Structure 1
């Protein structure tokens, strides 16, 4: 157990500002590379098939190492992992900027993904152990989650501006001072880890099987649409993933100090939170991809104009996270998620209605506004649910579990929705292609709306709260000391899946 935070040495508002900034770095790195992909492909001579690995290498490493990252935060120290992860981000970004060929750039992106897998659960568990469960934690999660919307906006805008002005390498150089500066501030603004890293009894077999199994699963989901779902390497990856994950479950049931204590799955709120993060990433977070395809492919928007088009959803999602925090404090997590998911489903269906080959951006705005509000409320609520009733010393692995569900959901959802969107565009050109692309995007967005509505059914499994906004109390011995009220910066929502084609 970690000692109480010393208020005179660490100001919660400044700590929260740094943690929110780390979330901004993650979302910025998700999105900033997309508009640079065409120039990267030309300059470094990627093939059409291999270029996708500039994106996929990040996604595979991020998804595969999240469970390990979550447990490492609990056992090796949250501040240590937070600092290490930001250092990896900065170093790999510098290597990526200096890359002279495809191999080195893809390797750098994989290391960035590893940094993200270590950073995300460390950041989330630092919030969950610094701020007491209930109103304070809800507010902190809204600020942290809200920072992602800034990354979505800045990623789209900066990617276009920097690539046009300075070339593709600038989208990697920009991460170096951001991540490096945050790493230097961590020892100043965050509470020191208690004691030395706990390596004794570390579940190495569980770590190896979980990391390899999830990595292969994410690889298959990411590569499947490109290679074909029936290709030998995809079938082999799925089979190996199934064997490794089954072995992981057996190991966790028998080891004395498991990487992922299976008893955590007895927490219904954590289970529901994991399921909703899966749905969220596969639906809400796929929308930027399809908006980019629609705006650039159907309406021939430039990269910069596309980035400007994402200002509206980013602002609305930011408002939704703050609304979700207030609603969670007054009506509880269950009501917040139900409200967010139902609002999001209606808004996403409205967005689909505005998609047409001859429609304007204005036709999308009503759906963008309603869907964005629902997305922001859901983002805040699902992380509150995933943290509720979890002991302080297990917040890292709980965060890793929910984050892994999020990443796998993103890979599954995008693969399904892309298959639907591309079902009728083969062999077409000119106006016929434009209309077919618009129709495919519309069908995919309608399907996303149906998936969001299904998520509302999952939210019904959450326990009702006798006291609005109060979560299940962790064990008394593990409850963090309540810090002074947060008066720091107001953040802005974690987007999800990056946009790109």
Structure 2
């Protein structure tokens, strides 16, 4: 646990920085894509890999990263993940060919897959359950939500001022600072005998599920380019599903399974993971719809389009910092998620309705601001549900399950919604895709109701209890 207010604040700042790095990096490249395509030599179809490679590395290695946290130690994995991320960012900065740039983005994804579960585990173990950990969760939520929503704005500003390379260069000092600060600020992991660590790690399960996740994500992001019935897309997805079946068989017979089968009997874990899977497609689609509409329809440049993301970021901070803690205390996770999901659905619909051939950014602004507010509230809350009712020594893999659902669900949902958007003329297609995304989000509220209810007045508030388990990875 933290020892003094000053040290506690420094530790919290480090963990918030790490979460910001993971969150901002996914979409910081969106507005830089046209310039990357021209200067590095990507074709119209292959350019998507600049974004998709990150999801491939992130989604494919999350379960492995989560279990490494449980078995090796959160501090060790944190340092390894941030260092890996920094090296991958250097590779992206100096890349001159599409292959090197895609490999760098995949490397950033792998670093994030290590860093993310380690960060959540450290939030839990360094802060006492109750008000101290609730405050840490609020700061964690601000960092993550603002990073996710500010990525587009930061990418636009950097690209306009310094060129596309700066979206990689900007990540280097952040990751390097986290790598250097961690050994000084974070207490060492508990000492374990090497034989105990090796005996407690499911190597066949780790290899199988990582390969399965990689194949599924690879197939999903290949679909629009190669065709869904091709071996590269449909074949990869089918092979991944087969490996998932093999993984289940391995886990049922293993002595120290990577993902204990009993976890699938955890109602909150299954419902929350499903909710993340369904929700992330519509959330990812908002960035695609916004960027396409402003740049391709209204003719905004990268700087203007990037600055347009800033109100979302500000409202996301307000959602995590101001709305989330009192909602968790008074209502618990389930009711908080219902409010957040309904708000996100209404916001996406408002953005879609605001898209007109003769429209302006100001037509979109009310929906974008509402989206930031409710996404900033729902994002931390859904991870609270993932972590609730899960034993401490399995929190790493539980959080990794939720985060894997986030990446794969985002790939699936975005592929479907982009296909819908491209089926009609630009503005009509974007509006239709937005309305479908809103309907999907509204339908996902059913999964929020499947979570166990909590009584706000039961001892320590339900929000306190669920918040404390949420961040214990």
Q: What is the TM-score normalised by the length of structure 1?
A: 0.87
**For 1:413-492, what aligned pairs fall within 5 Å after superposition?**
413-424=413-424, 436-468=425-457, 469-470=461-462
Counterparts of 1:479 and 1:216 in 2: how far apart (Å)?
Answer: 29
Counterparts of 2:289 and 2:240 in 1: how far apart (Å)?
Answer: 29
Aligned CA distance change for structure 1 residues 398 and 140 (closer, same or farther; 3 Å): same
Q: Which residue of 1 aligns with 2:385?
A: 385
Q: Is the 8 A contact 2:327 2:336 kept in 1?
A: yes
**For 1:80-479, what aligned pairs fall within 5 Å after superposition?**
80-133=76-129, 135-152=131-148, 154-196=150-192, 198-322=197-321, 323-424=323-424, 436-468=425-457, 469-470=461-462
Counterparts of 2:465 and 2:392 in 1: how far apart (Å)?
Answer: 11
Counterparts of 2:89 and 2:434 in 1: how far apart (Å)?
Answer: 33
- Does structure 1 residue 26 correspond to structure 2 residue 3? no
1:353 CA drift (Å): 1.6
1:31 CA drift (Å): 2.3
Counterparts of 1:287 and 1:480 in 2: how far apart (Å)?
Answer: 27
Unaligned runs of 5+ in 2: none
1:398 CA drift (Å): 0.9
Please list the CA deviations of residues 190-224 of structure 1 after superposition, one character each: whole Å capped at 9, or x if unmatched.
23211146222311110111000011111111111
2:70 aligned to 59, 68, 74, which one?
Answer: 74
1:379 CA drift (Å): 0.9
Counterparts of 2:233 and 2:451 in 1: how far apart (Å)?
Answer: 36
Q: Is the 8 A contact 2:18 2:178 kept in 1?
A: yes
Counterparts of 2:149 and 2:29 in 1: how far apart (Å)?
Answer: 13
Aligned CA distance change for structure 1 residues 395 and 416 (closer, same or farther; 3 Å): same
1:480 CA drift (Å): 11
1:159 CA drift (Å): 2.3
- Does structure 1 residue 38 correspond to structure 2 residue 46? no
Aligned CA distance change for structure 1 residues 149 and 470 (closer, same or farther; 3 Å): closer
Q: Is the 8 A contact 1:283 1:451 kept in 2?
A: yes
Q: Which residue of 2 aligns with 1:432?
A: none
Q: Which structure dedicates a bigger proportion of its chain to helix? A: 2
Please list the CA deviations of residues 29-71 of structure 1 after superposition, one character each: whole Å capped at 9, or x if unmatched.
2222222222222222222222222222211111100000000
Q: Which protein has greater RCO, CA pairs closer than 8 Å, 6+ apart?
A: 1
1:265 CA drift (Å): 2.1
Worse-matched range after superposition: 138-147 or 119-128? 138-147
Please list the CA deviations of residues 131-168 of structure 1 after superposition, one character each: whole Å capped at 9, or x if unmatched.
45555444322321221343246533332333333332
Q: Which residue of 1 aligns with 2:54?
A: 58
RMSD: 2.3
Counterparts of 1:383 and 1:60 in 2: how far apart (Å)?
Answer: 21
SS in 1 for 2:223: helix
Q: Give the paired residue count.
A: 463
Worse-matched range after superposition: 154-163 or 347-356? 154-163
1:366 CA drift (Å): 2.3
Please list the CA deviations of residues 436-463 of structure 1 after superposition, one character each: whole Å capped at 9, or x if unmatched.
2111111111111111111211111111
Counterparts of 2:191 and 2:120 in 1: how far apart (Å)?
Answer: 21
1:340 CA drift (Å): 0.9
1:408 CA drift (Å): 1.0
Worse-matched range after superposition: 51-60 or 64-73? 51-60
Q: Is the 8 A contact 2:157 2:307 kept in 1?
A: no
Counterparts of 1:381 and 1:148 in 2: how far apart (Å)?
Answer: 12
Aligned CA distance change for structure 1 residues 353 and 49 (closer, same or farther; 3 Å): closer
Counterparts of 2:448 and 2:229 in 1: how far apart (Å)?
Answer: 34
Aligned CA distance change for structure 1 residues 371 and 472 (closer, same or farther; 3 Å): closer
Aligned CA distance change for structure 1 residues 9 and 140 (closer, same or farther; 3 Å): closer
1:315 CA drift (Å): 1.3
SS in 2 for 1:84: helix
1:372 CA drift (Å): 2.6
Q: Is the 8 A contact 2:71 2:200 kept in 1?
A: no
